[in-house]
Chain A
């Protein structure tokens, strides 16, 4: 190696960590630019941008939950069903005339308990892989949701119940117009993501979640109670799905049997696009957010351009494969040979 090569190689090594951390944001920015060029009048309008955030609001909760599970090298296929069951319980409780503060916490508790059920099943029943337990509960939770609601939609919630999913923060005091409001769900996303970023990166439990994904034996040998941490992770994932149910209740004003159908796949896709590894121990909260945004912007942009939903499926699938392939290439470059 001559001097110049060495310089390039060392520059390379210095840049790698940044690319690893922020590369996905680059992809997001490029996509925003492309959409803006294709739809200069509409795409970056206040109305459309808030629309994108409203559309990704509940998905972003499921994706964050699934992300934590994927970091432990696990998987949760049941998040869509947890959300649906939590939503149905909310609807039934609301129809029974419970006060709004009870209605609002029921989906959170229901989601948490569903997640706890997953976590205990995986650890206590010693399921060979979380895939199996959560595949089972994917059916169990959705079936239960239909049993308690009789398989029919239940509509009509009060404004308090709908606040997180449907509320608006008026910005006229800033001199903006009435139509230029901030959706409450956007603020909620920001708060939840910041809290979980701190949790995963700056708390002991968060560090242990990454350690378990990196090498569960190392975690065990360090005296970490791996099963306890796994139960916490699946419970939190369920809790986030419960928040998703509350947001969805606000957005749609109803509980319906198909709520969240196949949304577990969207959540997994967002994590993978965002750089999480199925082998565990890798990925960032920022990456998941970018993954959710990329999927949301893609759907939104293609809708604006009147592209059929069949093409949307093809494109999203292609982005998943492409994003992971870029990751493979990046890793090749990153390993010194």
Chain B
């Protein structure tokens, strides 16, 4: 993707304090349509915090967000979802006691009208879930299976399915492969690649250089809550990126 087109999502000068802790200071980030941005950094560098600011879960102490060139103020994850910005949290944020389908549609359940009251449309949830899982080639026994009965890889797949069920324009994934067995990693990376092909902008946080160098087009490093380095994948190497994580240029 050329960097002359407008970025889909841009964050400028993001600062975030937690009490006396400065988690982020004056951080910039942008991602274009169909592009995958890798974000790396040591534990505590501020990666998750930055993503939670982008998704509206945290309000930044300073800085601004632009979506398709327009400044947006996010009050809650609902606001970012309405813009087409979806997030796969590091802890997945799934309700284990609910079935797969109800997790995918949690907060945005289809309803049907019965007179003047609105009831959940379970048939529609099931139908849409099956169609969506098929499209992503995700295999589960049934959309009615509870999430707590799934393997780590299946849960990750459900979380990704959730983030793509509503025509997302930007999908942010926080360590999507960290908790997975090797053979499950490939499937997740395939999913990311197919998302890119449909023009979705993807941000992937990962510690695994394999992930970054398989799916990303550009990589940026955070170090102690600040922008440290950034390069397109063709202009850097694994060793250099690993150096950035440790604070060496």
The distance in angstroms between the C-alpha atoms of A214 and B102, with both chains bound, is 12
Could you say which residues of chain A place their CB within 8 Å of the CB of B78? 223
Asked if A204 and B94 make an inter-chain contact with CB atoms under 8 angstroms apart, the answer reads no
A34-42, A129-137, A205-213, A296-304: which lies at the interface = A205-213
Q: Produce 1/0 per residue, B105-126, CB < 8 A to A.
A: 0111101000001111000000
In the bound complex, residues from chain B placing their C-beta under 8 Å from that of A221 are: 55, 57, 77, 87, 89, 93
Contact of B120 among A203, A213, A282 (CB under 8 A): A203
Chain B residues closer than 8 Å to A219, beta-carbon distance: 95, 106-107
Give Cα A225–Cα B107 distance, bound, in whole angstroms: 10
The smallest C-beta distance from B146 to any residue of chain A, in angstroms, reads: 9
Report B51 CB to chain A, min CB distance, Å. 11
Q: Say yes or no: is A172 at the interface (Cβ < 8 Å to chain B).
A: no
Instruction: Compute how far the CA of A54 lies from the CA of B79 in the bound complex, rounded to whole angstroms.
Output: 49
**Of the residues A203, A218, A225, A281, contact of B119 by C-beta under 8 Å:** A203
Shortest beta-carbon distance from B87 to chain A in Å: 7
Q: A214 to chain B: which residues have CB within 8 Å?
A: 95-98
Task: Kindly provide the distance from the CB of B104 to the nearest chain A CB, expressed in whole angstroms.
Answer: 10
Q: Using A207-B102, A224-B107 as known contacts, say yes or no to A281 and B97 having CB atoms under 8 A apart.
A: yes
Are A282 and B106 also in contact (CB < 8 A) when A220-B77, A223-B81 are? no
A213 to chain B: which residues have CB within 8 Å? 97
> Which residues does chain A contribute within 8 Å of B120, judged by CB atoms?
202-204, 207
Q: Which residue of B lies closest to A222 (CB)?
A: B107
Q: A218–B95 contact, CB under 8 A?
A: yes
Interface positions of B from 58 to 92, Cβ below 8 Å from A: 76-79, 81, 87, 89, 91-92
Cβ of B15 under 8 Å from chain A: no
Q: A204-B111, A281-B95, A282-B97 are in contact. Are A211 and B106 (CB under 8 A)?
A: yes
Complex: A286 Cα to B212 Cα, angstroms: 50
Query: What is the minimal beta-carbon distance from B122 to any residue of chain A, in angstroms?
Result: 8
Task: Please determine whether B95 and A211 come into contact, CB atoms closer than 8 angstroms.
Answer: yes
Q: How many A-B residue pairs have CB under 8 A?
A: 76
Measured CB to CB, the nearest residue on chain A to B82 is A223
Bound Cα distance A50, B98 (Å): 37
Q: How far is A203 from B119 in the complex, measured between Cα atoms in Å? A: 5
**Which A residues are CB-close (under 8 A) to B76?**
223, 225
CB proximity of A283 to chain B, nearest CB, Å: 10
CA distance A220 to B91 in the complex (A): 13
**Does A220 lie within 8 Å of B57, measured CB to CB?**
yes
Which A residues between 186 and 204 are near B, CB-CB below 8 angstroms? 198, 202-204
A281 vs B106: C-alpha distance in the bound complex, in angstroms? 14
- Which one of A202, A219, A221 has the highest number of Cβ atoms from chain B below 10 Å of its Cβ? A221
Q: Are A215 and B119 in contact (CB under 8 A)?
A: no
Contact A210 B97 (CB under 8 A): yes
Residues of B within 8 A of A222 (CB): 77, 93, 106-108
Q: Which B-chain residue is minimally distant from A215 (CB atoms)? A: B95
Chain B residues within an 8 Å CB radius of A211 = 95, 98, 102, 106
B224 at the interface (CB under 8 A from A): no
B109 pairs with A204, CB closer than 8 A: yes
CA distance in complex: A219, B106 (Å): 8
Check: B103 CB closer than 8 A to any chain A CB: yes
Q: From A204, A208, A215, give the contact of B96 (CB < 8 A).
A: A215
19 example contacts (A-B, Cβ-Cβ < 8 A) are as follows A203-B120, A204-B120, A207-B109, A207-B120, A208-B106, A210-B95, A214-B95, A215-B95, A215-B96, A215-B97, A217-B91, A218-B94, A221-B57, A222-B106, A223-B76, A223-B107, A223-B108, A224-B107, A225-B76
Using A202-B120, A215-B93, A224-B107 as known contacts, list a sample of 5 further A-B pairs with CB atoms less than 8 Å apart, ordered by residue number in A.
A210-B95, A210-B97, A215-B97, A218-B93, A220-B77
